[in-house]
Amino acid sequence: MSCWRRGCRYLWSLAMNQWHRALVRHDGKVVVMNRSTRKPEGYELTVSPIYAGLCRTDIQMLRGLRDDPSPILGHEGIARVAEVGKDVPANLALGTLVCLNPTHRSDPAFLLGHNVEGLLQENVLIPAIAVRDGLVMPLSTVHHSATATLLEPLAAVDYAFELLSDHNTDTLVVFGDGVIGHLAVRDAADKLVAGIRIQHLHHTEQGLAWSRRYEAGAAQCILNNAAGTALLSSLSEGARVAVLIATPRNATLACLETALRYIRGEIRINLLGGYQQMLLRLCYLVSS
């Protein structure tokens, strides 16, 4: 069959079926592929992403550091409702601007962009359990911007601080210079206590340079090296220290060891990113 005839058949198939483009992990690469667009039924709905972020966990998946099965990544972003099943509530009508909570509180079968196809595609079918259980949330038009991709990581930070809120913290130590770490040092005074002492340990010179260029209040920014451990050791035995470890999971245990070895006083630790062999963002509190 000639190339011309094969091309005509391909175009005809696109015209006769509903397709959309997606960024798909395939044979160790990321390629643009056509995917079949299924109509939603019942409580299902389809959204069209407007802005989608690339999370550090996405980068870990692309590098082969995680074994999450979804071929399409993306769990941070905002979208518009493009099509709805007959049972979808009225507040999620066609055209509604929405954000999605990517993690179901009680059903591990829904983890958007990890075991359910994510937002890096033109159309995303959202399963009934996510719609029925309130994981698709309407937004006002004021959130129609690229910064809305930070809603999900900011929610993760707020939840971490909620878990630390009863510790009467006077010092916050943040490991990690990714989005989560930077949001945490900027959100701490509002969510924990005004005037809190903040120590922000970075893994790269580039991350440290960024923090010094875009200062976050009185946060002490330093590399996670000998200078960083000296700073941690300077905290008094009477300090009440909350530690937020916001690193890739393959770095978590080393940071945990550093915190436990060098920080004195009353300490509570939140392993926001989990660690190897644990579920994403499993929060484990350690007190001593």
Backbone angles phi, psi at 167, to 5 degrees: -90, -5
| Radius of gyration for the chain, computed over Cα atoms and rounded to the nearest angstrom | 22
Report the 10 Å Cβ neighbour count for 41: 13
Residues of the chain with CATH 3.90.180.10: 21-144
Residues of the chain with CATH 3.40.50.150: 153-287
In this predicted model, what pLDDT tens digit does every residue of 93-106 receive, in sequence order? 999 999 999 999 89
Q: Where are the beta strands (DSSP E) in 17-155?
A: 19-26, 29-36, 45-53, 76-84, 97-100, 124-126, 136-138
Comparing C-alpha atoms, which of 127, 144, 125 is closest to residue 82?
125
At the topology level of CATH, where does 153-287 sit? Rossmann fold (3.40.50)
Coil, helix or strand at residue 251:
helix
Q: What angle do CA 214, 151, 47 make, to 5 degrees?
A: 135
**Residue 254 amino acid letter:** A
The span from the CA of 64 to the CA of 47, in Å, is 28
In this predicted model, what pLDDT tens digit does every residue of 155-202 receive, in sequence order? 999 999 999 988 999 999 999 998 999 999 999 988 888 889 999 999
Residue with tokens 């592929």: 33
Record the pTM.
Answer: 0.80
In this predicted model, what pLDDT tens digit does every residue of 216-268 receive, in sequence order? 888 999 999 999 999 999 999 999 999 999 998 888 999 999 999 999 989 99
CATH class of 21-144: alpha beta
